[in-house]
Copies of this chain bind each other. A is one copy, B any other.
Amino acid sequence: MLRQSCEPQMQTFVESGQLIRAFLPVGASRLGPLRARGPCRSGAPCRAKPEGALGGNTGGVADSAPDIEGMLRLLSGRADRREGARAGRVYLVGTGPGDPGLLTMRAVELMRLADVVLYDRLVSNDILQLVNPGARMVYVGKQRGFHTRTQDQIQELLEQFADSGSTVLRLKGGDPYVFGRGGEEVDFLREKGITVHCVPGITAASGIAAELGIPLTHRGVATSVRFLTGHSREGGQEELDETIAKSVDPKATLVVYMGLQTMPCLAAKLVEGGLDARTPSVAVRFSLEIVSSEDVCLLVFCRCCCSL
C-alpha cells in the first residue's frame, strides 16, 4: 500500500507554519553516507597535498596567480616532452551528491588520468581523495559573497590548461547539466575549438530521493517531476513568481534546488497558486561543513513517499 501521507519528519509546511528543515545526516543508510566523511574545517574541501603538486585548499590557489603560471609552465613542458605531444582536452564530470559510492565508473577512471583538476566547493573530500596524487589541484569554488574565481576566470583557466596539452578535469557536484553551469563551460570551450566531454553525475534530487524513499515519479500519483532553482538570479522576484505559477501541478513532484533563501516566499506562493497546502514536503540541507546551507538546501514537494 502506497503511503500518500509521509513520515513525521516530512510534515507539511502548513502544520508547522513553514517547511520543515530536516537537517538530516544525509546518508545514514547502510549503503554508506551521502555526505563526506571527516569534513574539513577550511572554507573548501581539503586533501593531503600530493607531493610535488599544488594543494586543493582555498589558500592553495584562490590568491596565488603565480602558482597557476608555474603549473602552466610545468604542464606545457611535460606535454612537449611527450612523444607526439597532443592538444589537451577537458572533461566536465559530475560527482553526484558527495558519496564516492555514487560516482560513476567513468568519473573514477578520469580522476586517475587527469593532469589538472579544477573542483567546486560541493565536491567532497572523499571524492578528492580518489584523484591521482600527481594531479595539480585547483579549487575554484563559489559561495555567496566569496568567489575564489568568477565564471569567466574559471573558463579561461580551463582554456589555458587545455592549451598546455593537459587532460583537464572539471569536477562538479551533482550533474554538470542540472544547475551546474556545465552548458556555459562546454559552449565556451567548444567555441575555442577545445575538445570537451561531459560526464553526467547523480543529481541531488535522485540522491536524496533514494536516501529518503521518495519516488520522484509514481504511477497514478506523480506522473512527472520538476527541478527548479529557488535561487533567482536575473529576473528576480518576477521571474520566480512566473516559475512558481508554472510549478503548481497536483500530479508532479517538485524539487527546488538552492531554495532555502526563497523558501518562505516560495511556499506561500505555491499555496496561493493552488498547491494543496497539505502537500508533504521536506527540506534537506547537505550536512557538509564546507557548504553553506543556502546553496545546497533541497526542497522536495512530493506526492508520495515510501516508509522509511
Instruction: Give the docked Cα–Cα distance between A108 and B184 (Å).
Output: 32
Query: Number of A residues contacting the other chain (C-beta, 8 Å)?
Result: 75
Contacts of A223 in B (CB 8 A): 228-229, 232, 239, 243
Taking a contact as CB atoms under 8 Å apart, the answer to whether B102 and A104 are in contact is: yes
Per-residue B-contact encoding for A1-27, CB less than 8 Å = 1, 0 else = 111000000000000000000000000
Binding stretch for chain B, among A63-71, A138-146, A198-206, A282-290: A198-206
Nearest CB to that of A29 among chain B residues?
Answer: B197
Contacts of A198 in B (CB 8 A): 209-210, 213
Taking a contact as CB atoms under 8 Å apart, the answer to whether A177 and B209 are in contact is: yes
From residue 221 to 238 of chain A, which have CB atoms closer than 8 A to chain B? Answer: 223-229, 232-234
Known contacts A101-B109, A105-B103; A306 and B183 CB within 8 A of each other: yes
Instruction: Give the docked Cα–Cα distance between A215 and B178 (Å).
Output: 7
Taking a contact as CB atoms under 8 Å apart, the answer to whether A105 and B108 are in contact is: yes
Known contacts A2-B183, A101-B106, A199-B210; A224 and B224 CB within 8 A of each other: no
Instruction: Give the docked Cα–Cα distance between A3 and B215 (Å).
Output: 34
Per-residue B-contact encoding for A187-221, CB less than 8 Å = 1, 0 else = 10011000101111111001101100111111110
Contacts of A243 in B (CB 8 A): 223-224, 249, 251
Taking a contact as CB atoms under 8 Å apart, the answer to whether A210 and B176 are in contact is: yes
From residue 94 to 112 of chain A, which have CB atoms closer than 8 A to chain B? Answer: 94, 96, 99-106, 108-109
Nearest CB to that of A195 among chain B residues?
Answer: B30
Q: Out of B186, B206, B226, B249, name the residue touching A175 (CB < 8 Å).
A: B206
From residue 21 to 66 of chain A, which have CB atoms closer than 8 A to chain B? Answer: 29-32
How many monomers of this protein are in the complex? 2
Instruction: Give the docked Cα–Cα distance between A224 and B103 (Å).
Output: 24
Say yes or no: is A281 at the interface (Cβ < 8 Å to chain B): no
Say yes or no: is A150 at the interface (Cβ < 8 Å to chain B): no
Instruction: Give the docked Cα–Cα distance between A177 and B300 (Å).
Output: 14
Q: Out of B31, B104, B200, B251, name the residue touching A209 (CB < 8 Å).
A: B200
Instruction: Give the docked Cα–Cα distance between A175 and B219 (Å).
Output: 15
Taking a contact as CB atoms under 8 Å apart, the answer to whether A306 and B187 are in contact is: yes
Nearest CB to that of A308 among chain B residues?
Answer: B190
What's the least CB distance linking A158 to chain B, in Å?
Answer: 14
Instruction: Give the docked Cα–Cα distance between A177 and B227 (Å).
Output: 14
User: Interface centre among A207, A229, A249, by most B CB within 10 Å?
Assistant: A249
Known contacts A177-B206, A177-B210; A304 and B183 CB within 8 A of each other: yes
What's the least CB distance linking A104 to chain B, in Å?
Answer: 5
Contacts of A32 in B (CB 8 A): 106
Q: List 8 A-B contacts (CB under 8 A).
A: A2-B184, A31-B91, A102-B104, A102-B105, A104-B105, A177-B216, A225-B227, A239-B251
The 3 closest A-B pairs by CB, nearest first: A183-B215, A224-B228, A101-B106
